A and B are shown apart, each in its own frame.
Chain A
């Protein structure tokens, strides 16, 4: 336990380069290249977190001011994921078990070819620990808690495997995936809803990724301008009550939020590019190492979802979701299916936008629709988990903020897979929230189960989600579609591709020969 705390205490910016360096050495990278890759990844990681910190410190207060403007007070306070993580690491009886068994499970699953993902993101093990802890606190059964955490870990690794092709293609990060529990467990639901939206007239043909918007609307849809405008709107909604008392201060706040969010849109993708500069040689080395020793096998490096947040679509959807989350919380509290006041985690909504936008290749409109559904589910699950989270906080000697009777967080509500696994054991707890809540939470579970089954069946039939259907999302309009099944001379499209592949093979053979 002491060693784990010491290791985590060093900080990701120190430990991640060390882990990457060790991995690079295992993958037989030249030492100079390994040092450069490790340091570049460290720098990229610091840069990403610095910009996310800036985003949180700008968007967070604005979102919280919006909450105050509503004048609503709900009994459960959203204390945010960092507090949930801190409380989780305070549950000392569980931490070492999940850490050691989780890492062992990952290695065993790779050895038996059950997964291709090596999860090097140790900080996010807190999600698995949290999963074990809430089941333990709700049922009093330690073994059940541990079992839920380990099964969750296996599910997350598998989901990361399935998500890898679309992540690598859409975000352009080779050899990487994100076994990040609170984001990737929503990928099957996002996939199913996105498929549903393919059948909705109007939305079906509405292509709205930042690139497509830019092509259509030019400079107005430039991510920097989009971020700035969205920032101004959020800030005006947050600080308008100050117009009468302190106009200068309000204008300053609005300028700060608007310009900062614009700058974040510009800087965050660059930081991810720096990280990638270090990751690409590592991924190449891993590929070479695996192919030499285990022909036909692949290995993905599992990292935090933060590396995907930098995409302009995710930031844009995350910002748009702030007022939507507040409205949802109010509406759902009236309907009796939510008791949590969103607060701290409003600043990290871009994380939850990842699997709302990725399947449609960054379609902002679809991202907002899917993200709204995600948030509605998360608010209810967070409400459901609030008593357990509060008990855990008491056990970890965490002081509950004044005015709140219970605590939880949107991120806690994002722990979908453990919630599904433990639902049967903890459902009776839902009775205290009334019949409406029971019906809604049962619907969430049923829909999640349906989505997972549909997703696994699709993959089981040999499809690659997000790749086989990408033609639906990557182009501007159906009118522009080119039917390549029959060329002008009547040749079959397969022949075209075969010709193309043969040409590529020829050229690469030629290149290799030239290199020799």
Chain B
């Protein structure tokens, strides 16, 4: 039944695509599985890098709250460089394929920029800010301390 609505939304071409996929799945299964495995392997680098960034932010503790986004980038870049040296592959910018892992690209995939890092720091240290709103709510204040 979902088919009827997709016909309206997309036209009939999608049916050819889906029926080719389901009808000839045996032809797709090996390359599709290989692609998925490759992507899982490639996604390890950003996953580990992000995990290490979060751990480093936690380790910064209260001091982290006083650092600017640019200072955070400078502080955390070595973590990403270490991960990049350890892994061979990472996802390409489109996310559909893989490329050689290098620190600059990995930093880009992990959003290692002042704005994103400041946001991540706020998350990790529980400083909450509504997007676009000029207000700050701190957990400690919310708890009435």
Residues of A within 8 A of B (CB): 8-9, 11-13, 46, 49-50, 52-54, 56-58, 60, 79-83, 85-86, 123, 165, 168-169, 174, 214-215, 219, 222, 224-225, 228, 252, 255-256, 259-260, 262-263, 266-267, 269-270, 273, 298, 344, 347-348, 464, 467-471, 474-475, 480-488, 493-494, 496-497, 499-501, 503-504, 507
Contact = CB atoms under 8 A, between A and B. Distances in A.
A8 B5 CA distance: 11
A123 B126 contact: no
B14 A263 contact: no
Given A252-B25, A270-B94, A482-B125, A80 B2 contact: yes
Contacts of B17: 50
Interface residues of B, number: 63
A351 B53 CA distance: 32
Contact of A11 (B11, B61, B124, B133): B11
A64 to B, nearest CB: 11
21 contacts: A8-B8, A12-B8, A50-B18, A52-B2, A53-B6, A53-B10, A165-B131, A168-B131, A225-B40, A228-B36, A255-B25, A256-B29, A259-B29, A260-B21, A468-B130, A474-B123, A475-B124, A486-B140, A497-B127, A500-B65, A507-B114
B118 A500 contact: yes
B7 to A, nearest CB: 8
A262 B133 contact: no
Give the 3 A-B CB pairs with smallest separation, nearest first. Answer: A485-B140, A471-B126, A496-B65
Contacts of A49: 6, 9-10, 14
Contacts of B40: 219, 222, 224-225
Contacts of A228: 36
B57 to A, nearest CB: 9
A9 B7 CA distance: 9
Given A57-B22, A470-B128, 5 more contacts: A8-B8, A263-B32, A467-B129, A474-B123, A475-B123
Nearest to B71: A503
B133 A214 contact: no
Given A266-B36, A464-B133, A482-B125, A348 B25 contact: no
Contact of B65 (A9, A347, A497): A497
A487 B138 contact: no
Contacts of B132: 165, 298
A329 to B, nearest CB: 18
Contacts of B70: 507
B89 to A, nearest CB: 14
Contacts of B18: 50, 53-54, 57
Contacts of B2: 52-53, 56-57, 60, 80, 82, 344, 347-348
Contacts of A262: 36
B30 to A, nearest CB: 10
Contacts of A482: 58, 61-62, 64, 124-126
Given A60-B2, A85-B5, A252-B26, A50 B58 contact: no
Given A165-B131, A474-B123, A493-B65, A255 B29 contact: yes
Which residue among B22, B51, B126 has the maximum number of chain A CB atoms within 10 Å of its CB? B126
A344 B44 contact: no
A165 B137 CA distance: 15
A468 B137 contact: yes
A224 B65 contact: no
Which residue among B2, B43, B47, B61 has the maximum number of chain A CB atoms within 10 Å of its CB? B2
Nearest to A499: B66
B33 A484 contact: no
B68 A50 contact: no
